[in-house]
Amino acid sequence: MDRDATARSQIHAKLVQSREELRRILDPPPGEYGNGGQAPGQAAGFPRSRTMQMLMSGRGLGTLGALVGGLLIARPALALRLLRYVPASSVAKILMTRAIGALKAKSGEGA
């Protein structure tokens, strides 16, 4: 009985340690983003995941656009079916804020 309890406590300690290591690896450092885990300039709702934030960045959008263009040319029915799963209102809001931000930056340079 005592041997089993000791073995269980050792296993439990190893599990706690491995969970902490995974949290340290997978979670961003506390000071990486100033506003609660969101990248600067990102809306609070969409995109929340780091993968989607990367895809919505400048280079990510170019890559994503090339991928969508190739998919539309190769298999238009599949591309249109997949397009139904995209949250259009959220993407439209992000595109509008970027467009307005670009126009403000352009007018600020000329003035």
To the nearest 5 percent, what fractions of the chain are helix, strand and coil? 70, 0, 25
User: DSSP code of 43?
Assistant: -
User: How long a stretch of residues is the chain?
Assistant: 111
pLDDT above 70: residue 37: no
The type of residue at 71 is L
Partner residues linked to 38 by β-bridges: 35
The structure tokens listed for 43 are 């809306």
Distance separating alpha carbons of residues 63 and 11, to the nearest angstrom: 45
pTM of this prediction exceeds 0.75: no
- Retrieve residue 40's tokens: 């600067």
Q: Which pLDDT belongs to residue 17?
A: 93
Q: Do 72 and 79 contact (CB within 8 A), yes or no?
A: yes
pLDDT at 82: 85
36-37-42-48 Cα dihedral, nearest 10 degrees: -120
Highest mean pLDDT among 5-19, 41-55, 93-107: 5-19
CB contact at 8 A, 53 and 42: yes
Mean pLDDT over each residue of the chain, to the nearest integer: 79
